[in-house]
Amino acid sequence: MLDFDVKFLKGVGPNRALKLNRLGVYTVEDLLNYFPVKYEDRRVVKKINELKDEKKVLLKIKICDYPKKARIKKNMTIIKALATDGTGFIHLTFFNQDHLINNLSLSEFYYIFGVVKSNYGKFEMINPEIELVANATKAGRIMPIYSLTYNLTNNEITKIVKVALEYYFEKIDSIIPEYIRKDYNLILRKDAIRYLHFPTNGKKYTIAKKTIAFEKLLIMQIGLLSIKSKLVASLDGIQIKNAKLADMLLNSLPFKLTDAQYRVINEIKCDMAKSKPMNRLVQGDVGSGKTIIAIYAMLIAVKSGFQSSMMAPTEILAMQHYDTIKEYVKLSNIEINIEFLSGSTKTKQKNDILNKLRNGEIDILIGTHALIEDNVEFNNIGLVVTDEQHRFGVRQRALLSNKGMNPDILVMTATPIPRTLALMLYGDLDISIIDELPPGRQKIKTYVVKENQKIEMYNFIDEKVREGNQAYIVAPLVDESDNLELDSAREIYEELATTYFSKYKLGILYGSMKNSEKERVINDFYKGEINILVSTTVIEVGVNVPNAVIMMILNAERFGLAQLHQLRGRVGRGKTQSYCILVNESKSKKSKDRMNILVKTNDGFLVSEEDLKIRGPGDFFGTAQHGLSKYDVQNIINDIDVVQDVSILSKKILSENPNLDGAEYINLKKHIINLFKDENIIFN
Ligand code: ADP
Ligand code: MG
């Protein structure tokens, strides 16, 4: 690997290196993997007489007259020149580029690249890029556009990448074994990297992208699958099969399980009864009744003499599970010990819980990430449940299961993922699907509205709230940074609280709030003391307030469909007709079509299949999941065929050669180990 410091690369040095570091580029390898976000096609030379307004174009011109220089402000000069390509004239203006006055020659041909403006029939270009035809490096090519920050210009990055490729091209080793590369018509890694930065044509770009996607997916998929096979191969799992308590629970439920729930429960029962550890993912749409399944499994463990635990991604959700489970258990007259642990549990209480946990006095422990801390030791944990799996990475799951001797693992997610992708993303798990909702659920009426209909919608909310209902208003999705998230929600909160909804009690909820604060707000909302809750996506999972009947999502175009579907799932939980209002501020047809899918169906699996068709698989790869960057998933891995090919191939490779022995796999293996370095169960 080219894993030495980028600062030693020619033309970089300590200052630029620092700027590159801020882009996440530390080594030459990182730099080579810092792919452009888009490209500028400068292959075609346009003629002036065929120009239209406002487009970036490449022209090949001669300067017609000596350029003129003027000082327009104390520190601003302009140079004006008239140019022609023989079919027409174009006026060029350069700001603060004094050197041009002596360098522009009347006898040379130049390429200029920039935005054309037409001013009463006169064409002009301001600050075009200009280069001599004789030694042009950009004209005639497809140029990369990188994502920029911190005073690094696109030109700088382009140059640095070029240098890196010049010096180290031959040192870029392939990761994909030669025979696979040939089978799938891929290209060498060094060529793929070069063409992703500097594609010479569309075909080269496509194959380069496919090669890199293939490579990244192969690393991830083989890693996940081999974790799975290692888990399955370990024989010292535990057998858990006493379902007596669990069946008591079912008998006392006020409702009958759906067929899908029964099927999944049986799959789980079978897994648990085996001596090999269970590794099962339960996928079920919002409201399909996953909680009861988790409780069922935990009760089997308890009755068989083991402890079990359930981890949820937010304190709110964990607390809700804790309450639900206590309620169910009470209902069935089952006497067991259930405790709750989170980051905000007081020290004294926490120590008490930890002690009891070690002694085996606690049967079921519900909580947040706090459950994976080092000091949490179980007496004999037999089952680990994680809810809303998409919020946790493989690593966190492994940490929790490492607390016992290969306990059974059950993970649950409400993010419906098309089957083809699920195999890929959860390659280390068996999958159960609850594809049926309990009977009698009402369809949530979904509307897509434009920005200028917002007020109308506020009136609608007003009407509903006056009747005693509650509503959510979700603030636009902003950057992941907490501050921005807060600003966005707060701005809307303040605007609404002082205008349209001044007569109601409004609440605000966002991620960086203290846990106790969050809980208080949710509780107030639950009790009806808050009428309208302005929130960020923190309410996406789990929150259950049946009296809330309206979900309004601002700037809905910024969200993925799956996420919108999750948010919508916060309403429609009671008996009253519920509504979801998507405010679409984008004018594109694509965006409208996308949202109309939500209007048409309430079925999460259909939604995700459609999302897959429209947006490609990128969105389904949670960034926290598998060491793929947001960029990777959005720009590189967007071909479902590649995902499927890799999925099938990975299984085949591992079944024939579980340890990836042999020289051809050395590099691949190195990268897999590096990606999953936190797992101790990978390879021998
Ligand atoms: P999710 O799958 O989203 O976690 P929950 O487990 O929270 O769903 O269940 C949603 C609601 O549906 C709960 O109030 C639960 O009691 C109820 N429920 C679950 N299963 C059934 C069923 N078979 N029939 C009727 N209601 C059910
Ligand atoms: Mg749930």
Q: How do residues 232-259 score in pLDDT, each as one tens digit?
A: 666 566 777 777 888 888 888 889 999 9
pLDDT at 92: 93
| 572 phi and psi angles, rounded to 5 deg | 80, 25
What's the mean pLDDT in 542-565?
87
pLDDT of residue 624: 41
Neighbouring residues of 44: CB distance < 8 A, sequence distance ≥ 6: 58
pLDDT above 70: residue 143: yes
More confident residue, 65 or 614: 65
Cα 659 to middle of ligand 1, angstroms: 43
pLDDT exceeds 60 at position 483: no
Q: Over 90: is that where the pLDDT of 429 sits?
A: no
**pLDDT of 508 higher than 90:** yes
pLDDT attached to residue 583: 94
Q: For the segment 259-275, what is each residue's pLDDT rounded down to a tens digit? A: 999 999 999 999 998 88
Amino acid symbol at 315: E
Q: Is the pLDDT of residue 427 over 80?
A: no
List, for residues 29-42, the tens digit of each pLDDT value.
Answer: 989 989 988 888 88
pLDDT of residue 540: 66
| Atom number, ligand 1, closest to the C-alpha of residue 258 | 23
Task: Supply the pLDDT for residue 298.
Answer: 94
- Residue 611's pLDDT band, with cuts at 50, 70 and 90, is confident
pLDDT recorded at residue 49: 87
Residue 617: both structure tokens together: 């698989």
pLDDT at 484: 56
* Most confidently predicted of 7-11, 160-164, 229-233, 314-318: 160-164
Distances (CA, A) of 509 to 74, 506, 525, 626: 50, 10, 11, 29
> Quick one: average pLDDT of 294-305?
92
The angle, 0 to 180 degrees and rounded to 10, between the axes of the packed helices 589-600 and 604-615 is: 160
E-assigned strand segments in 290-427:
307-311, 338-341, 364-367, 381-386, 408-413
Contact 449, 457 (CB under 8 A): yes
Residues with CB under 5 A from ligand 2 (ion): 290
Q: Would you state the pLDDT for residue 67?
A: 82
Rounded average pLDDT over 448-477: 93
Q: Cα–Cα distance between 440 and 429 in angstroms, integer?
A: 32
- Averaged over 114-141, what is the pLDDT? 88
Say yes or no: CB of residue 394 within 6 Å of ligand 1.
no
Q: Is the Cβ atom of 262 under 6 angstroms away from ligand 1? A: no
Q: Would you say the CB of residue 261 lies under 6 angstroms from ligand 1?
A: yes
Residue 684 has pLDDT above 60, yes or no: no
CB 286 within 8 A of CB 258: no
Closest listed ligand to the CA of 284: 1
Examine the pLDDT at 136 and tell me if it is beyond 80.
Answer: yes
* Calpha distance 592→33 (Å, rounded): 34
Most confident of the ranges 127-141, 391-405, 452-466: 452-466
**Pairwise pLDDT comparison (651 vs 683), residue with the higher score:** 651
Give the residue-averaged pLDDT of 604-610: 82
Tokens in use for 99?
């050197």
**Residue 112, pLDDT above cutoff 80:** yes
Q: Is the CB of 414 under 6 A from ligand 1?
A: yes
pLDDT in tens, 521-542: 988 998 999 999 999 887 766 6
| Average pLDDT across the chain, whole number | 85
Question: Above pLDDT 90, what percent of the chain?
Answer: 40
Question: Does the structure show a pLDDT above 80 at 456?
Answer: yes
Ligand 1 center from residue 289 Cα (angstroms): 3
Question: Mean of the pLDDT values across residues 473-490?
Answer: 67
- What mean pLDDT comes out for the span 299-306? 90
CB 470 near ligand 1, within 6 Å: no
The residue ranking higher by pLDDT, 174 or 537, is 174
pLDDT at 307 over 90: yes
Looking at the CA of 569, which ligand is closest?
1
Measured in Å, residue 502 CA sits from the centre of ligand 2 at 34
Burial of 405 from C-beta contacts in 10 A (0-12 / 13-18 / 19+)? middle
Identify the band that residue 481 occupies on the pLDDT scale cut at 50, 70 and 90: very low
The CA 286 to ligand 2 mean position distance, Å, reads: 7
- For a ligand 1 pocket test, name from 250, 252, 255 the mutation site with the most ligand atoms within 8 angstroms of its C-beta: 255
Whole-prediction pTM: 0.67
Mean pLDDT of 130-142: 88
Q: How confident is the model at residue 373 (pLDDT cuts 50, 70, 90)?
A: confident
Kindly tell me if the per-residue pLDDT of 5 is higher than 70.
Answer: yes
Q: Which residues of 549-585 are buried (b: 16+ CB within 10 A; e: fewer)?
A: bbbbbbbbbbbbbbbbbbbbbbbbbeebebbbbbbbb
Lowest model confidence (mean pLDDT) among 371-375, 446-450, 597-601: 371-375
| CB neighbours of residue 435 within 10 Å | 18
